[in-house]
Structure 1
Amino acid sequence: MNTTQGKSALVHSGKPNWMKYLRKHSFLYLLLAPALILTLIFKYGPMYGAIIAFKDFSPIKGILGSEWVGFKHFDKFLSSPNFEVIFMNTLKLSLFGLILSFPVPILLALMLNQVRRAGVKKNIQLFLYAPNFISVVVIVGMLFIFLSPTGPINQMFSWMTGEPIMFMSRPEYFRWIYILSDIWTGAGWSSIIYVAALANVDPELHDAANLDGANLLQRIRNIDLPTIRPIMAIVFILAAGGIMSIGFEKAYLMQTAMNLPTSEIIPTYVYKIGLQSGDYAYSAAVGLFNSVINVVLLVTVNFIVKKLNEGDGLY
Structure 2
Amino acid sequence: MREKSDTAIQKNIGKKKKKVAAKIYIRNNYQLYMMLVLPVIYLILFKYKPMIGVVAAFKNYNVFRGVWGSPWTGLSHFKEAFASNDFWMALKNTLILNVGDIIISFPIPIILALFLYELNSKVIKKSTQVILYLPYFFSWVIIAGIVNQLCSNGGMINNIITAFGGKSINFLTVPWMWQAVYWISGLWQGAGYGLIIYLAALSGADPSLGEAAYIDGAGRFKRIWYVTIPQIKGTISVMLIMKLGQVVSIGFDRPYMMSNTLVKSVSDVISTYVYSVGLQSARFDFATAVGLFQSVVGVLLLLIVNAMAKKFGEEGVI
Q: TM-score, normalised by structure 2?
A: 0.93
Equivalents in 1 of 2:214, 2:109: separation in Å?
26
1:47-126 alignment runs, 5 A limit:
47-126=51-130
Q: Is the 8 A contact 1:105 1:188 kept in 2?
A: yes
1:304 CA displacement: 0.6
1:156 CA drift (Å): 3.5
Structure 2: distance between partners of 1:46 and 1:29: 25
Question: AA paired with 2:230?
Answer: P
Q: CA deviation at 1:207?
A: 2.1
Do the aligned partners of residues 174 and 31 (structure 1) sit closer, same or farther apart at CA in structure 2, a change above 3 Å counting?
same
Of 304, 311, 316, 1:313 maps to 316
8 Å contact from structure 1 (residues 94, 244) kept in 2: yes
Larger displacement relative to structure 2 (182-191 or 66-75): 182-191
For residues 85-131 of structure 1, the C-alpha deviation after alignment (integer angstroms, 9 at most, x for no partner) is 11101111111111221111111100010111212211111111111
Establish whether residue 255 from structure 1 lines up as the match of residue 255 from structure 2.
no
SS of the aligned residue for 1:69 comes to coil
Q: TM-score scaled by structure 1?
A: 0.93
For 2:193, which of 161, 167, 189 is the aligned residue? 189
- Where structure 1 has 5 or more consecutive residues not aligned to the other structure, the ranges are none
Distance (Å, rounded) in 2 between the aligned partners of 1:295 and 1:237: 11
- Tell me, what secondary structure is at the counterpart of 2:136? helix
One-letter code aligned to 2:98: S
How many angstroms does 1:227 deviate by? 1.2
Select which of 149, 152, 160 maps to 1:148.
Answer: 152
Query: In the aligned structure 2, how far is the partner of 1:155 from the partner of 1:210?
Result: 49
**Equivalent of 2:237 in 233, 256, 263:** 233
Aligned residue type for 2:72: W
SS in 2 for 1:247: coil
**How do 1:9-24 and structure 2 match up within 5 A?**
9-11=13-15, 21-24=25-28
Change in Cα spacing, 1:56 to 1:191, as seen in structure 2 (3 Å) is same
1:5 aligns with one of 9, 33, 39:
9
2:250 is paired with a residue whose SS is: coil
Select between 24-33 and 178-187 the one with higher mean Cα deviation.
24-33
Residue 136 (structure 1) shift: 1.3
Matching of residues 129-168 of structure 1 within 5 Å: 129-159=133-163, 162-168=166-172
CA distance 1:221–1:25, change in 2 (3 Å)? same
Deviations for 1:189-223, whole angstroms, at most 9, x for unmatched residues?
21111101212223322222221111111111222
Q: CA deviation at 1:18?
A: 5.3
Between the aligned partners of 2:165 and 2:60, the Cα distance in structure 1 is: 56
Q: 1:81 and 1:205, CA in 2 relative to 1: closer, same or farther beyond 3 A?
A: closer
Between the two proteins, the alignment pairs up a number of residues equal to 314
Displacement after TM superposition at 1:40 (Å): 1.8
Letter in 2 for 1:32: L
Deviation at 1:293, TM superposition (A): 0.8
**Preserved CA contact (<8 Å) 2:87 2:273:** no
Task: Specify the SS of the correspondent of 1:68.
Answer: coil
- The AA in structure 1 aligned to 2:317 is L
CA contact (8 A) 2:244 2:302 kept: yes
Q: Is 1:270 matched up with 2:274?
A: yes
3-state SS, counterpart of residue 163 of structure 1: coil
Deviates more, 1:11-20 or 1:134-143: 11-20
Paired letter, 2:228? D
SS at match of 1:145: helix
CA distance in 2, matches of 1:132, 1:84: 31
Residue 222 of structure 1 corresponds to which residue in structure 2?
A: 226
Structure 2 gaps, min length 5: none
Identity, in percent, stands at: 37
Deviation (angstroms), 1:14: 6.9
Conserved 8 A contact 1:201-1:224: yes
